[in-house]
Amino acid sequence: MPLAQPRLGPVNGPTILAITSEGSERQGFAYGWQTPATGAPVANLAYMFPFSVSDPYPVVNGFVVNGTAVAGNVDIGIYDTAGNRLVSSGATAQSGTSTIQLLPMSYTLAPGLYYCAFSASSGSANFLRWPASSVWFRIAGHFQQSTAHPLPATATFAAAAQNDIPIFGLTRLTVV
């Protein structure tokens, strides 16, 4: 017997980032219990977290939460589960300390599973980050890729090995 109505999942929020319901809580646990702190990411390493959308989701901005120092370039992108880059901001100079930096992009996601990716070109760049064991990031479905700035057209997923993740994400809002 066919379904009487579409099997709709939870509504996505105005922003998509690793510790909202699009991220860890979908996996059945939360890894945001520790207090975020500023720090530098590994230069040229792509950090990737999974998320799913239940309804068409119009992405208009990627974003990063900058810390106390800016340096080099940052790139935010979206990949499908096969590792194909769907859209990215492209390498953009990190700008503005202790604030959110928007990285415009335009792409409407169809319902499904995706990866949101971040890379920065400088080990001196400073971002707000969540600390957690890489064990938790791995079982939450995170991946990473070395030598990935700007973000490559095709991702090569490797096991997440970092003990923190910069706070970055996507939004349908024009301002956050």
Partner 1 sequence: MPLSNAPAHRRQNPVLQWMSIVNGIGNVHQGTTSGAPASGAWPNANRAIYVPVLVDAPATVYRLWYYAGATASGNYDLGLYDINFKLLVSTGSTAQSGTNGYNNRDVTDTTIGRGIYYVAMSLSNTTGTVLRSVASNFATYHRAFGVLQEENAVPLPATATPAALSTNYIPVIGASLRATF
What number of CA atoms fall less than 13 Å from residue 89's CA on the CB side?
28
Span of 25-33, 40-48, 113-121, 146-154 interacting with partner 1 by CB under 8 A: 25-33
Site string for partner 1, 59-78 (x = CB under 8 A): ----x-xx------------
Q: Is 38 in the site for partner 1 (CB under 8 A)?
A: yes
What number of CA atoms fall less than 13 Å from residue 107's CA on the CB side?
21
Phi, psi values for residue 168, rounded to 5°: -145, 165
Please give the Cα distance from 156 to 54 (Å, whole number). Answer: 25
Closer to partner 1 by CB, 55 or 81: give it: 55
Q: Is 6 in the site for partner 1 (CB under 8 A)?
A: yes
Closer to partner 1 by CB, 77 or 166: give it: 166
Please give the Cα distance from 176 to 61 (Å, whole number). Answer: 10
Q: Is 176 in the site for partner 1 (CB under 8 A)?
A: yes
Q: Is 93 in the site for partner 1 (CB under 8 A)?
A: no
Token pair of 100, please? Answer: 């959110």
Q: Which positions from 118 through 147 interact with partner 1, judged by CB under 8 A?
A: 128
Name the one residue in this structure whose structure tokens are 């400088």: 122
DSSP H or E run through 134: helix 134-139
Tell me which residues touch partner 1 (CB under 8 A). 1, 3-15, 17, 19-21, 24-25, 30, 32-38, 55, 63, 65-66, 98-100, 128, 167, 169, 171-173, 175-176
